[in-house]
């Protein structure tokens, strides 16, 4: 994100953002909160020392996860600050689904890849049954629902660009315990 784009979202100037980034000026807590919200991160993330390496490893046991729903688990693979895209993995027990109703989120391009098993995805009034290795693309604004229609656990991966989750949505994810 450019300094100008961030400044516009935060209600400051690009010059001020540049000075803040270089440590030339300070910021009020309210400004830091607006910056964190614009970047979909927490205020604490603004102060976290990060490695300059772009090679970030995320172990399976360290993935953040949504609270488990009956027959469905969703973990986050992309790491904050999430900007250009989001990546999730979901596992579905036989009969498990994303819920009884279709849902939407934002208006981004979404791709779902079936890693294992067999799922049915409902997009509005259209239904598709996908098996291992199959994928489908759709707009995240299209009402959708996914259900495991096979007799073994199914696993899918979602890639969404640009990211649609706001900080409040991402805050629902917690560190997963165990493998």
Would you tell me which CATH number, out of the four given (3.40.50.1820, 1.10.10.10, 1.10.260.40, 1.20.1070.10), belongs to the domain 3-46? 1.10.260.40
CA distance 170 to 16: 28
Q: Where are the domains of the chain?
A: 3-46, 60-175
Judge: domain 60-175, CATH 3.30.230.70. Answer: no
pLDDT at 83: 66
pLDDT at 133: 98
Q: What is the 3-state secondary structure (H, E, C) of the chain?
A: CCHHHHHHHHCCCHHHHHHHHCCCCCCCHHHHHHHHHHHCCCHHHHCCCCCCCCCCCCCHHHCEECCCECCEEEEECCCCCCCCCEEEEEEECCCCECCCCCECCCCCEEEEEEEECEEEEEECCEEEEEECCCEEEEECCCCEEEEECCCCCEEEEEEEECCCCCHHHHCCCEECCCC
**Please, what is the angle between helix 29-39 and helix 3-10, to 10°?**
120
pLDDT at 28: 83
- Each residue's pLDDT, cut to its tens digit, for the chain (179 residues) gives 788 888 898 899 999 988 888 888 888 888 888 888 887 777 766 776 655 556 677 788 888 887 777 889 998 888 766 667 889 999 999 999 999 999 998 889 999 999 999 999 999 999 999 999 999 999 999 999 999 999 999 999 999 998 877 666 666 666 654 44
pLDDT at 179: 45
pLDDT at 5: 87
């Amino acid at each position: 994100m450019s300094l100008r784009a961030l400044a516009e979202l935060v209600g400051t100037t690009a010059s001020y953002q540049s000075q803040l980034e270089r440590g030339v000026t300070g910021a009020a807590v309210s400004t830091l909160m607006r910056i964190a919200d614009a970047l979909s991160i927490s205020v604490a993330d603004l102060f976290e020392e990060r490695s300059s390496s772009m090679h970030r490893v995320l172990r399976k046991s360290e993935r953040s996860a949504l609270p488990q729903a009956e027959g469905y688990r969703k973990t986050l693979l992309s790491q904050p600050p999430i900007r250009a895209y989001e990546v999730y993995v979901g596992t579905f027990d036989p009969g498990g689904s994303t819920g009884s109703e279709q849902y939407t989120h934002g208006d981004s391009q979404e791709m779902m890849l079936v890693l294992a098993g067999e799922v049915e995805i409902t997009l509005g009034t259209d239904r598709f049954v996908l098996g291992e290795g199959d994928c489908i693309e759709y707009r995240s604004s299209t009402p959708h629902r996914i259900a495991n229609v096979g007799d073994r656990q199914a696993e899918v991966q979602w890639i969404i660009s640009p990211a649609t989750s706001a900080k409040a949505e991402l805050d629902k994810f917690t560190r997963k315990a165990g493998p």
